[in-house]
C-alpha cells in the first residue's frame, strides 16, 4: 500500500448546544468510505459512547448523530489533510490541521477531549495556540489499541461525563 495525500472528506458534527468536542486524528479508510466518524466495525468509539450514556449502540449514521447531539457532544478531527498509508496513524506526515473555530463560534464548546495520542499531539501543536483551550487526552478507541479492553476504555472515558456534570 502506498502513501497518498488525503483531504478530510466530511464535515464536523456539532450543534449550537454542543458543549464538549471530541477530536480524533484523521478518518480511517473505512471512515472515509462511510463518510462518517469511526466507520471501522472494530473501532470501539460507538460502543464506549453508548455505554457511557446508557444507550443502545447505534447502527446507522442517523442514530450515531443523535447519540452525539443528544448529549451535547461534537465530533471532528485534528487533521484536515495529510499524507497517509492506509489507516496507519504512524504513517501520517505533511499535516495540515483542521480549523475548529467554526465549531467554537457556532456552539457552546468549552471542553475538548482527544481520542488518542496522535490527535492530542496534533491538537496541542497546531490548534491549541489559537484556541487556548487545553485538550485532555483519552485512550484511543482504535482496534490498534489492544492494550485497552472495552471495560478499561469505558472507565477512562468516564471523564467525559463526570466533568460535564460539575
* Confidence category of residue 90, pLDDT binned at 50, 70, 90: confident
User: pLDDT tens digit string along 67-85?
Assistant: 999 999 999 999 999 999 9
User: pLDDT tens digit string along 101-152?
Assistant: 999 999 999 999 999 999 999 999 999 999 999 999 999 999 889 899 999 9
Instruction: Assess whether pLDDT exceeds 80 at residue 57.
Output: yes
Q: In this predicted model, which residue has the larger pLDDT, 58 or 90?
A: 58
- Sheet architecture: strand order including 79-85: 3-7, 79-85, 93-97
User: pLDDT tens digit string along 1-44?
Assistant: 788 999 999 999 999 999 999 999 999 999 999 999 999 999 99
Domains along the sequence of the chain with CATH? 3-162 (3.40.470.10)
Could you tell me how many residues make up the chain?
Answer: 166
| Contact assessment for residue 67 and residue 12, using Cβ atoms and an 8 Å cutoff | no
Mean pLDDT (whole number) for 80-97 = 93
CA-to-CA dists, residue 95 to 13, 17, 107, angstroms: 21, 30, 26
Q: How high is the pLDDT of residue 68? A: 98
Instruction: Assess whether pLDDT exceeds 70 at residue 163.
Output: no
Q: How high is the pLDDT of residue 166? A: 39
Neighbours of 86 (CB within 10 A): 11
Q: How high is the pLDDT of residue 165? A: 44
pTM over 0.85? The answer is yes
Q: What are phi and psi for residue 152, nearest 5 degrees?
A: -65, -40
Amino acid at each position: 500500500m502506498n502513501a497518498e495525500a488525503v483531504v478530510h472528506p466530511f464535515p464536523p458534527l456539532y450543534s449550537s448546544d454542543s458543549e464538549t468536542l471530541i477530536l480524533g486524528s484523521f478518518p480511517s479508510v473505512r471512515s472515509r468510505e462511510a463518510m462518517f466518524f469511526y466507520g471501522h466495525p472494530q473501532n470501539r468509539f460507538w460502543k464506549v459512547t453508548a455505554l457511557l450514556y446508557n444507550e443502545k449502540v447505534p447502527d446507522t449514521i442517523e442514530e450515531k448523530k443523535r447519540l452525539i447531539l443528544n448529549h451535547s457532544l461534537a465530533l471532528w478531527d485534528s487533521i484536515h489533510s495529510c499524507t497517509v498509508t492506509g489507516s496507519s496513524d504512524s504513517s501520517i506526515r505533511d499535516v495540515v490541521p483542521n480549523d475548529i473555530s467554526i465549531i467554537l463560534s457556532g456552539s457552546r464548546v468549552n471542553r475538548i477531549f482527544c481520542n488518542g495520542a496522535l490527535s492530542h499531539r496534533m491538537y496541542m501543536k497546531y490548534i491549541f495556540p489559537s484556541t487556548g483551550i487545553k485538550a485532555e487526552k483519552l485512550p484511543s478507541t482504535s482496534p490498534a489499541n489492544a492494550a485497552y479492553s472495552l471495560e478499561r476504555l469505558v472507565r477512562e472515558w468516564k471523564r467525559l461525563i463526570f466533568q460535564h456534570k460539575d
